[in-house]
A and B are shown apart, each in its own frame.
Chain A
């Protein structure tokens, strides 16, 4: 073969390779620039309490998720890089009737029959802990929303991601206030026999003791208690500076009512969940004056958003869709959707294991606040609480001071 023939062959070969590569690159680029819409939607599955004990927060949480679904779909869906497709989001959910047995059955069904892509937890620590047992068995990612008992994150589970500030931190701000205002304060911690309330109480006790606060009573009341006068009578003679604790709704309203009836005056009273809802005020009226509670989110706070809609957009859309006010349950649920979106966009896949890994490096701020997890446990460490207080029939943010809408009333006015 002469040199000429060789060089001709080479030139032809180079040209052929160039053309093939060019066409290839062109096709790839074209594909990258115009991703298609997936035929099948991305399905987010969960159970939620539409009836039973957790129906109030359960429904609020559901409203938040539904609104996120509408919002993300109006933006075209979620982009998944490895398929170069936009996925519309669809929700697959069932009423778990606030029952553990239902949760077990429903999460098996969601995973095995419905074959959903990503799982969200049910509302409440008790139910989320139950659900996590199932999702973990199948190695499936579950984003935990509406539940923050530290117990959930101490099981060694590898596939869960938290969105609420851990329960053990829920009363620390109230203790900080007490330390600032009272010398050598003493507190009574009373709480419902329930996974969530126990985690809060134990966290508060540990924090109080570490700070030198005297915990003179640490008492639990039964789940179905219809009378809290025994536990209150027990602490009446102790003359504590603060009562901290509670559980959920019926019991917390009863706790306030009976504390007044028994004439137990303290400088500070912080409950856990019920004061964040307007029904708390309706059931107690002026008896609610000065009562505090932590909240995972309030619309008055103005975080510097990196992802998702602004608070005002969220509020407007929520009111439009549901004709009611969102609670922190709704906000956190919407934010959980944004969190999932961010993880999918970062990981570029729907593979649950890779998604879980993507959460480790995510640090985003939504209208609900900052979200960042502890990579080892999946527990939420980025999110901060605010403290609410009922003042003259209005729910005010009083702590931290940077975001406060009103000055803290301290000490709490006597009954």
Chain B
């Protein structure tokens, strides 16, 4: 029996979670698109940001929404310096080297998190409340995460469309050699892209800390969702990636309620495989 109230709740649930999956994937998409490397440490960076938000909350009672600008700044600095320090040596080598580098980095990060904060589950018990609108419950923390995601995404989008560095980044994505030949400092663009990408990734980590509990090993799951969203939405296509994340959230929610949640990851990944087959048809 179809119940419109439940259906609306299902859509709301899917949208709220999907926005988090989407924003979490944008940084991965950006690095992959601009630098041509897959950041396997992406999940660990997300969780690192969640722990940063946790520290601010437990020490000063600051909710993640206030911490997120700080996390963005830290993320930018980490990304920029990571590229200037090691990243530039890795990016110029073959792809398997960069995969190994980022894999090693993810181990280093997750074990450092484990040693600093211990293995216990952490969560931020801030605003565990909901609005009720005509039988549909809208969790406030998740609503805030959605609104912040939209605002930060629009800022990122404007940055890429309107500013010199945004245009330079897009030029490098379109044609690396061409961009260099018109005087764009590609190396610097790479560093800034990595900074922006980790900035937005750290932002997503604070949003995750706002809505979900986490442990030092939670990053793997988010990496998996992010990876799927990037492939589904298009590498380097940040709008596509965000929408793909929302799509994954909606599919999970619909399948979970109208079939069973135990198969929802399988369904999401079957859709992913179909999309890959259709989009990347033809081969060489």
Residue of B at shortest CB range from A264?
A: B137
* Interface membership of chain B positions 1-27, coded 1 if the CB is closer than 8 angstroms to chain A and 0 otherwise: 001001001100100010001000000
Give every chain B residue within 8 A of A220 (Cβ-Cβ).
260-262
Interface residue? A125 (CB, 8 A): no
**A224/B13 contact (C-beta < 8 A), A55-B216, A233-B257 known:** no
**Is the Cβ of A230 less than 8 Å from the Cβ of B221?**
no
Interface residue? B270 (CB, 8 A): no
**Is the Cβ of A257 less than 8 Å from the Cβ of B119?**
no
**Is the Cβ of A285 less than 8 Å from the Cβ of B253?**
no
Interface residue? A254 (CB, 8 A): yes
- Taking the closest CB of chain B, its distance from the CB of A55, in whole angstroms, is 3
Interface residue? A56 (CB, 8 A): yes
**A283/B213 contact (C-beta < 8 A), A222-B262, A222-B265, A226-B222 known:** yes
Q: How far is the CA of A225 from the CA of B253 in the complex (A)?
A: 11
- Taking the closest CB of chain B, its distance from the CB of A247, in whole angstroms, is 12
Interface residue? A182 (CB, 8 A): no
Interface residue? A117 (CB, 8 A): no
Q: How far is the CA of A282 from the CA of B10 in the complex (A)?
A: 29
- Taking the closest CB of chain B, its distance from the CB of A25, in whole angstroms, is 58
Give every chain A residue within 8 A of B10 (Cβ-Cβ).
230, 233
Interface residue? B214 (CB, 8 A): yes
Q: How far is the CA of A262 from the CA of B10 in the complex (A)?
A: 11
CB contact between B257 and one of A53, A230, A263 (< 8 Å): that residue = A230
- Taking the closest CB of chain B, its distance from the CB of A255, in whole angstroms, is 10
**Is the Cβ of B261 less than 8 Å from the Cβ of A257?**
no
**Is the Cβ of A226 less than 8 Å from the Cβ of B6?**
no
CB contact between A250 and one of B128, B215, B257, B262 (< 8 Å): that residue = B215
**Is the Cβ of A257 less than 8 Å from the Cβ of B215?**
no
**A279/B260 contact (C-beta < 8 A), A226-B222, A233-B10, A261-B130 known:** no
**Which residues of B are in contact with A by a Cβ distance under 8 Å?**
3, 6, 9-10, 13, 17, 21, 111, 114, 118-125, 128-130, 132, 137, 139, 141-142, 212-218, 220-222, 224-225, 249, 252-253, 255-257, 260-262, 264-265
Residue of A at shortest CB range from B13?
A: A229
* 8 shortest interchain CB distances as A-B pairs: A230-B256, A283-B123, A55-B119, A261-B139, A279-B120, A229-B13, A249-B121, A253-B213
Give every chain B residue within 8 A of A286 (Cβ-Cβ).
125
Give every chain B residue within 8 A of A277 (Cβ-Cβ).
120
**Is the Cβ of A285 less than 8 Å from the Cβ of B125?**
yes
Interface residue? A151 (CB, 8 A): no
Q: How far is the CA of A261 from the CA of B130 in the complex (A)?
A: 5
Q: How far is the CA of A58 from the CA of B123 in the complex (A)?
A: 20
Interface residue? A90 (CB, 8 A): no
Interface residue? A384 (CB, 8 A): no
Interface residue? A227 (CB, 8 A): yes
Q: CB within 8 Å of B: which of A224-264?
A: 224-231, 233-234, 236-237, 249-250, 253-254, 257-258, 260-263
Q: CB within 8 Å of B: which of A279-319?
A: 279-280, 282-287
**Is the Cβ of B121 less than 8 Å from the Cβ of A55?**
no
**A219/B261 contact (C-beta < 8 A), A226-B17, A226-B225 known:** yes
**Is the Cβ of A287 less than 8 Å from the Cβ of B222?**
no
Chain B CB within 10 Å — which of A98, A237, A250 has the most? Answer: A250
- Taking the closest CB of chain B, its distance from the CB of A120, in whole angstroms, is 20
Give every chain A residue within 8 A of B121 (Cβ-Cβ).
56, 249-250, 253, 274, 279-280, 283
**Is the Cβ of B264 less than 8 Å from the Cβ of A250?**
no
**Is the Cβ of A279 less than 8 Å from the Cβ of B122?**
yes
**Is the Cβ of A284 less than 8 Å from the Cβ of B123?**
yes
Interface residue? A51 (CB, 8 A): yes
**Is the Cβ of B9 less than 8 Å from the Cβ of A233?**
yes
**Is the Cβ of A53 less than 8 Å from the Cβ of B261?**
no
Q: How far is the CA of A279 from the CA of B117 in the complex (A)?
A: 12
Q: How far is the CA of A158 from the CA of B119 in the complex (A)?
A: 34
- Taking the closest CB of chain A, its distance from the CB of B50, in whole angstroms, is 11
Interface residue? A157 (CB, 8 A): no
Give every chain B residue within 8 A of A207 (Cβ-Cβ).
none
Interface residue? A221 (CB, 8 A): yes
Q: How far is the CA of A368 from the CA of B25 in the complex (A)?
A: 47
**A233/B6 contact (C-beta < 8 A), A55-B114, A250-B214, A254-B213 known:** yes
Residue of A at shortest CB range from B7?
A: A233
Q: How far is the CA of A253 from the CA of B214 in the complex (A)?
A: 9
Q: How far is the CA of A59 from the CA of B115 in the complex (A)?
A: 12
Pairs across A and B, CB under 8 Å, 26 listed:
A51-B216, A56-B118, A56-B121, A98-B217, A220-B260, A221-B261, A221-B262, A227-B13, A227-B249, A230-B10, A230-B253, A231-B256, A234-B256, A234-B257, A237-B3, A249-B120, A249-B121, A250-B218, A257-B212, A260-B128, A279-B121, A282-B122, A282-B123, A283-B123, A285-B125, A287-B128
Give every chain A residue within 8 A of B119 (Cβ-Cβ).
51, 55-56, 58-59
- Taking the closest CB of chain A, its distance from the CB of B145, in whole angstroms, is 12
**Is the Cβ of A253 less than 8 Å from the Cβ of B262?**
no
Interface residue? A102 (CB, 8 A): no
Give every chain A residue within 8 A of B225 (Cβ-Cβ).
226
Q: How far is the CA of A111 from the CA of B17 in the complex (A)?
A: 47
Interface residue? A193 (CB, 8 A): yes
* Interface membership of chain A positions 57-94, coded 1 if the CB is closer than 8 angstroms to chain B and 0 otherwise: 01100000000000000000000000000000000000
CB contact between A287 and one of B21, B125, B142, B215 (< 8 Å): that residue = B125
**Is the Cβ of A53 less than 8 Å from the Cβ of B217?**
yes
**Is the Cβ of B221 less than 8 Å from the Cβ of A224?**
yes
Interface residue? A52 (CB, 8 A): yes
Give every chain B residue within 8 A of A280 (Cβ-Cβ).
121
Q: How far is the CA of A85 from the CA of B185 in the complex (A)?
A: 76
Q: A230-B10, A262-B137 are in contact. List 20 more A-B contacts (CB 8 A).
A: A51-B114, A51-B217, A55-B215, A193-B262, A220-B260, A222-B264, A226-B17, A227-B249, A228-B261, A229-B256, A230-B264, A237-B3, A249-B121, A253-B123, A254-B212, A257-B123, A257-B128, A260-B128, A261-B129, A283-B122
- Taking the closest CB of chain A, its distance from the CB of B25, in whole angstroms, is 13
Give every chain A residue within 8 A of B128 (Cβ-Cβ).
257, 260-261, 284, 287
Residue of B at shortest CB range from A53?
A: B217
